[in-house]
């Protein structure tokens, strides 16, 4: 059965990004980027199952800030952070207030720009995914919106062992919520903890 | 080797207590108290190792608010939340600005009131514990002070699957910190995750 998932790397104190995110520092200041990179790239074998799950969805939804920096009208030269062959290999629906033509990349990734809000973007992603899962890819503000709306079936946290102290929090503004723990595992670089929000 | 531990139950969004703590609601408003009670009292077998570890220390330190409600001079009728035979069975050093004579309870628990600050309280607890561990029992503000001072060797989180949205946060005001994950396990009611702060 197709479900809506979200994989988020957060610090132990719940931040998905440090302060002062920028083009050069998409995770913001602080050690979060280094900590996230370590578990994904230094120990891929130890985290193989979780890494595979992150890219198993058949369609993605992401916020504008995750696709690229800036606000307002699009800079049409900007085609995302990921180069010519992004790691999604599937349709990606980008939430924005500014229309833009779909952007077909190499390797099966196509970015679609959706101006009708989170439910519309999810509906389009579901349709594109067919029997596959849809992943809400981030950032934190976007995942929080979907959590608040009760639209996420499986929240998979990848908790890196750092305390940041400031930045953009996951799980903020989502109201009171109960969840069912699904899985927990970990190693020296990361703790994986998956939850199903209870409606 | 003797170490300084702290066991804290927190919500998935990092709160050790909900808002508006009071005599009737020591965990504050919200579902935190119920969620904490569930894993400790509904499934003690599934969490036996962690529950045993919480009370394995040979001396404890706690903040004034954990010992009892109110501020200012002591109400000498108040002897803690725990009845005549508190679960500590060891010396407990209570941080306070107001001196009070030591209070000997049944079962080996004696409350000592320390006005000289967190380092003095820890020194007295270490001496009392001998070769045993010292546990910083709470609340969140007290544990945060000890974390910020670099005085905790092992932080054992018991993460209950609820999002509270407001209350008193653990890991707040402790600055940037890196930690080493020690253990992770869990079940349907709680995720246990232990960390060693790296100095």
Half-sphere exposure of A123 (CA within 13 A, CB side): 7
Q: Is-contact B43 B68, C-beta < 8 A?
A: no
What's the gap in Å between the CA of B41 and the closest CA on chain A? 18
What's the gap in Å between the CA of B163 and the closest CA on chain A? 5
Residue B23 has pLDDT above 70, yes or no: no
List of residues 6+ apart from B92 with CB closer than 8 A: B59, B60, B61, B62, B67, B86, B109, B110, B111, B112, B137
More confident: B171 or A45: B171
Quote the tokens at residue B189. Answer: 């009611």
Interchain CB distance below 8 Å, A185 and B184: yes
What are A33-74's pLDDT values in tens digits? 778 778 888 888 888 999 889 889 999 999 998 998 878 899
Percent of chain A with pLDDT over 90: 75
What integer pLDDT is reported at residue A39 of this predicted model?
Answer: 84
What's the gap in Å between the CA of B68 and the closest CA on chain A? 27
CB pairs under 8 A between A and B: 97
What's the gap in Å between the CA of B188 and the closest CA on chain A? 5
What integer pLDDT is reported at residue B43 of this predicted model?
Answer: 83
Instruction: Render the burial of A150-186: b for 16+ CB within 10 Å, e for the rest.
Output: ebbbbbbbbbbbbbbbebbbbbbebeebbbebeebbb
Q: Is-contact A35 A161, C-beta < 8 A?
A: yes
Q: Does A182 touch chain B (CB under 8 A)?
A: no
Q: Does B199 touch chain A (CB under 8 A)?
A: no
Interchain CB distance below 8 Å, B176 and A184: no
State the average pLDDT for chain A.
92
- For A175, name the nearest residue in chain B, comparing CA atoms only: B165
pTM over 0.80: yes
A104, burial (CB in 10 Å: exposed 0-12, middle 13-18, buried 19+): exposed
What integer pLDDT is reported at residue B42 of this predicted model?
Answer: 85
What's the gap in Å between the CA of A102 and the closest CA on chain B? 36
Chain A residues lying within 8 Å of B177, measured CB to CB: 162-163
What integer pLDDT is reported at residue B125 of this predicted model?
Answer: 98
Q: Does B182 touch chain A (CB under 8 A)?
A: no
What are B54-110's pLDDT values in tens digits? 889 999 999 998 998 878 899 999 999 899 999 999 999 999 999 999 999 999 999
Q: Does A190 touch chain B (CB under 8 A)?
A: yes
What integer pLDDT is reported at residue B9 of this predicted model?
Answer: 92
Distance, in Å, from the CA atom of A173 to the CA atom of A148, rounded to the nearest integer, reads: 7
Q: What is the three-state SS of B135-165?
A: EEEECHHHHHHHHHCCCCCEEEEEEECEECC
Give residues 31 to 50 of B whose Cβ lies within 8 Å of A: 31, 35
What are B129-168's pLDDT values in tens digits? 999 999 999 999 999 999 999 999 999 999 999 999 999 9
Q: Is-contact A174 A144, C-beta < 8 A?
A: yes
Interchain CB distance below 8 Å, A162 and B171: no
Distance, in Å, from the CA atom of B71 to the CA atom of B108, rounded to the nearest integer, reads: 27
Interchain CB distance below 8 Å, A12 and B164: no
Chain A residues lying within 8 Å of B175, measured CB to CB: 163, 165
Comparing CA positions, the residue from B13, B155, B166 lying closest to residue A157 is: B13
Q: Is-contact A192 A174, C-beta < 8 A?
A: no
Distance, in Å, from the CA atom of B162 to the CA atom of B35, rounded to the nearest integer, reads: 8
Q: Give chain A's radius of gyration (CA, Å).
A: 16
What integer pLDDT is reported at residue B105 of this predicted model?
Answer: 97
Q: Indicate if ipTM > 0.85.
A: yes
Q: Is-contact A105 A111, C-beta < 8 A?
A: yes
List the single residue in A174, A180, A184 with the smallest CB-CB distance to B185: A184
Cα A163 to the center of its chain, rounded Å: 20
Interchain CB distance below 8 Å, B178 and A161: yes
Q: Does B30 touch chain A (CB under 8 A)?
A: yes
- For A188, name the nearest residue in chain B, comparing CA atoms only: B181
């Amino acid at each position: 059965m197709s479900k809506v998932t979200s994989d988020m790397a957060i610090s132990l104190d719940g931040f998905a990004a440090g302060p002062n995110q920028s083009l050069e520092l998409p995770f913001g200041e602080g050690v979060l980027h280094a900590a996230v990179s370590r578990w994904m790239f230094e120990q891929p074998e130890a985290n193989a199952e979780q890494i595979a799950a992150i890219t198993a969805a058949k369609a993605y939804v992401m916020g504008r800030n995750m696709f690229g920096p800036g606000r307002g009208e699009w800079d049409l030269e900007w085609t995302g952070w990921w180069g010519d062959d992004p790691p999604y290999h599937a349709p990606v629906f980008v939430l924005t207030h500014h229309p833009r033509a779909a952007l077909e990349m190499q390797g099966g990734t196509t970015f679609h720009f959706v101006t009708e809000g989170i439910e519309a973007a999810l509906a389009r992603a579901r349709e594109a995914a067919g029997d596959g899962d849809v992943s809400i890819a981030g950032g934190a503000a976007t995942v929080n919106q979907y959590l608040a709306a009760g639209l996420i079936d499986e929240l998979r946290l990848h908790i890196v062992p750092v305390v940041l102290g400031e930045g953009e929090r996951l799980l903020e503004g989502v109201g009171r919520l109960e969840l069912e723990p699904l899985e927990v595992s970990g190693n020296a670089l990361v703790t994986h903890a998956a939850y199903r929000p209870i409606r």
